[in-house]
Amino acid sequence: MTDEQLLRYSRHILLDEIGVEGQERIATGRALVIGAGGLGSPVALYLGSAGVGRITLVDHDTVDLTNLQRQIAHNMARVGASKVESAREAVGAINPEAVVCTVHARADAALLDELVPAADVVIDCCDNFKTRHAINAACVKHRKPLVSGAAIRFDGQLSVYDTRDAASPCYACVFPPDDDFEETRCATMGVFAPLVGIIGAMQAAEALKLLCGAGESMAGRLQMLDGRRMEWTEMRVPRNASCPVCASGR
């Protein structure tokens, strides 16, 4: 590491759980972030500021005025721009060394099958179940850890799905793909602005821990936040032996 890098990342390096070796693992790490909106904004900014070696951002959308209430990677000057390019510019303003690759496209199965194998950690910041299940299927197939977050109204949730561990469930173990979930979008239901920052920051924290090997991941635990009371609830979530996604791969 250069003297400037040692100074920039000194507050990480001072942590016994990270140190120089952990920061170097972060610097060589590759993160794939699906979604550059409310959750993807703090994820991208924290990963970039922490010095993750390569960040790939995937999103098909453009910046809209209604996004600016909560999507902190974007600003008035970039309304109409692609969200991935706007987020890349925001990360670069914090850390010019950050390598941010952008994919202005919807994350379908074919694209994920191309991008997921090259990642060390995948962060799901999307806003619909179909894409979430596609991301999960790709992570199970390629044995990559998945950090999944969601936020709507005043309610948030967070977990890590890492099927490299035989006891850890995948996303489909907890939210079966054939279940009839009611799809809710912030465009119609609303979302409390700081909520996406809370969940997104925790996603970034879990991703960085996985990259540098610090602490223990949230694999096997689902945390849910009631933002009205700022009250957390945690559930233990085991592997589903009959899961249609991960059971067949064991």
Q: Note the pLDDT tens digit of each residue in 183-219.
A: 556 666 889 999 999 999 999 999 999 999 999 999 9
Find out whether 146 and 161 touch, Cβ atoms under 8 Å. Answer: yes
Q: What is the model's pTM?
A: 0.95
CA atoms within 13 A on the CB side of 112: 28
d(CA 95, CA 88): 10
Q: How is 36-85 classified by DSSP, letter by letter? A: -STTHHHHHHHHHHHT-SEEEEE---B--GGGGGT-TT--GGGTTSBHHH
* Closest to 61 in 3D by CA, of 32, 90, 84: 84
Find out whether 57 and 90 touch, Cβ atoms under 8 Å. Answer: no
d(CA 165, CA 140): 11
What is the model's pLDDT at position 249? 52
Q: Which residues contact 23 (CB under 8 A, 6 or more apart)?
A: 1, 9, 12, 13, 51, 212
For residue 82, the cross-strand partners are 62
List own/partner pairs for 90-93 with CB under 8 A and 24 or more apart.
90/41, 90/44, 90/45, 91/44, 91/45, 91/47, 91/48, 91/49, 91/55, 92/48
Give the model confidence (pLDDT) of 142-156 as tens digits: 999 999 999 999 999
The helix (run of H) or strand (run of E) holding residue 33 is strand 30-34
What is the model's pLDDT at position 185? 60
- For 227, the token pair is 């933002």
What is the model's pLDDT at position 38? 97
Domains and CATH numbers, the chain: 8-249 (3.40.50.720)
Find out whether 42 and 49 touch, Cβ atoms under 8 Å. Answer: no
Low-confidence ranges of the chain (pLDDT < 70): 179-188, 248-250
CA atoms within 13 A on the CB side of 233: 10
What is the model's pLDDT at position 178? 83
For residue 102, the cross-strand partners are 57
d(CA 112, CA 135): 7
